[in-house]
Structure 1
Amino acid sequence: MATIDFPAEIKALRSTLESIEAVSDPTALQAKIADLSEQAAAPDLWDDPEQGQKVTSALSSAQAELDRVKKLSQRIDDVETLVELGNEMEDADSLTEAEADVAAIRKDLDALEVRTLLSGEYDAREAVVTIRAGAGGVDAADFAEMLMRMYLRWAERHGYPTKVMDTSYAEEAGLKSATFEVNTPYAFGNLSVEAGTHRLVRISPFDNQGRRQTSFAAVEVVPLIEQTDSIEIPESELKIDVFRSSGPGGQSVNTTDSAVRMTHIPTGTVVSMQNEKSQIQNRAAALRVMQSRLLLIRQQEEAAKKKELAGDIKASWGDQMRSYVLQPYQMVKDLRTEHESGNTQAVFDGAIDDFIEAGIRWRRSGGND
């Protein structure tokens, strides 16, 4: 017979699901899906391929999230029914099956619960991942390529689109560095816990004497910050002064208040324009220059924010966050969370969800303070 307290277990499952629903808000998700579906049905959607990809990816992600919650609710109902029938019929096989179902549901709920922990400012963004070979020579370059493959395979397992932006190949083997995007919502929230120094210990395939080699690679993860081609400036943020133009230009320029000095109050950015003959023309020209300057300021701020988020990753002894040991034994171990796996091949093939989930819970508990 079953060895667990089914009523208590099922009650706990429902309680966890309710806490997840309180955060994910299925009603809001349905409204979001309806809006995205309408956008996806627009005949001109793919006139802008990048926007088309963004809409369809967001729709797929939102639908998948809603389906996960609904299916888990149905699975809890089903296992409750199975337990009732098993008890009525005194069917030990049904109760054993129900016990296995409860364990599977608990695992899936735990994975879904992790998503509710991703509430940082940039967690919902897509991600840009950069991997750099560190100390260890050609082995480090090879390790960098192994890590890139690991993350691309992880994305492939989940159906997440990726885009390799840059690769710099090492002379003998592997990569000096590589940068790629993971284009799915919450990619940054998930992968941000992968940032840091990774260490590989193995018998070097590049050493003629077959010696054990330790090498390092750095993983940097930053959110994909959306760029805009123009910038809207509220009228309330602008101070406009008009004055008489000076210098050559003819009587109409020098005798009227056609010149414009535009000040963006929040940043103190000033643009003066007097080349045009009318105040309206000078004002329009000044606004175009002001928009360009403010866009540049925004981009510089975003770049600084990315650098802050990426942190300073050394890729050497003393600051590694995860070790991949292939010799003398096989073990992948995260040094922050203590999570480990003896199946190193599966990890390098992209099976890193357990490491990511452990990292998110560790971070949320204040482990990186």
Structure 2
Amino acid sequence: MLLSNTMNRTVLRISSKIVSATFMTFCLASQVNAQSVSFEGERIEMTVPYKEGGGTDTWARFFGPYMTQSLPGEPVVVIKNVPGGGSTKGANQFARRANDNGLDILASSASTHYTYLLGDRRVQYDYKDWSAVLATPTGGVVYISANEGINNAEEFVNNLDKLEFKYASQGATSIDLVPLLALDLLGADVQAVFGMKGRGAGRLAFERGEVNLDSQTTSAYLKKVVPLVEEGKAVPLFSFGVIDAQGKLQRDPNFPDIPHFGEVYQMAKGDEATSQGFNVWKSFFVAGFVAQKVFLLPKSTPEDIKLAWRDAMNKLVEVPDFKTRADEVLGNYKQLTGVEADQAMDSILSLDEESKKWIAKWLKDKYNTVL
């Protein structure tokens, strides 16, 4: 798969530190009996720092029953939605209150990553204090209201000088950074309406006709937006794509008939390789989508409990019906466990400083957002 090759070669480069840490983990695993851990009769509380109905909520609720099935003792998994602050409210709460006994887990997503990486003043959490047990790559699609009379990406590009758009957003430093920057690079006239408590809220604003442009990650798009397309209410414009083994943007295998952003950028502006803005966009796409959603435990969680969780996630992805249902609900992306989950965390934390500086200036100039 394209995305899998990227993990191995382009995006998730394993440093000597990661190799060393992995070796230590394997040594420790031989000494610790993770099978002695049981959550029988317990309740796992999963904090989802987003409103119900969005991509992260859909993802978390999909995994909940499989976690119950795979964790030792088959504990009940309860979803706790804590939206607000571009996901910082829930993440901050988890950082303050989460117990390290294996009964508290965070469902993190790109908005949570970005606000941390960009030094958002609302952030009171540190990814270095957390350990990943499973990560899910994803993609996304930008789509327009059928009422605008646009039928495809080419018509969209050809009519950019005649169209005005409204986009309901969580905030410029949230996951919406990727679609908002993409649209700005294309030259689209977009008014961002901030204050949404999740992408699900943005989609509902789109359905009510309050905005005419929206984007959703793959899981929410497949479940919530495809029906709108089939009903003739929405028109897909472009996907964000995936990265191949050579670091090039390619079509998302989940949306082979939808052009990726690079194709649409070439329609509008020409060769993307010469554009600093496009390259910055790609850096944030990698940081936010290659490991777009991650389940996290406090790093202080005892090793036997961490290993019980990691073993359970390895078993989870091997459950007979998991792959089929995951492809239908989340999209055709490989779930990352064990060492690959560690590498996914490394990709989040390795965003280059040049991209951070460029985006900080763009945010200030475009949205008067000072980090």
Structure with larger Rg: 1
TM-score normalized by structure 2?
0.22
TM-score normalized by structure 1?
0.22
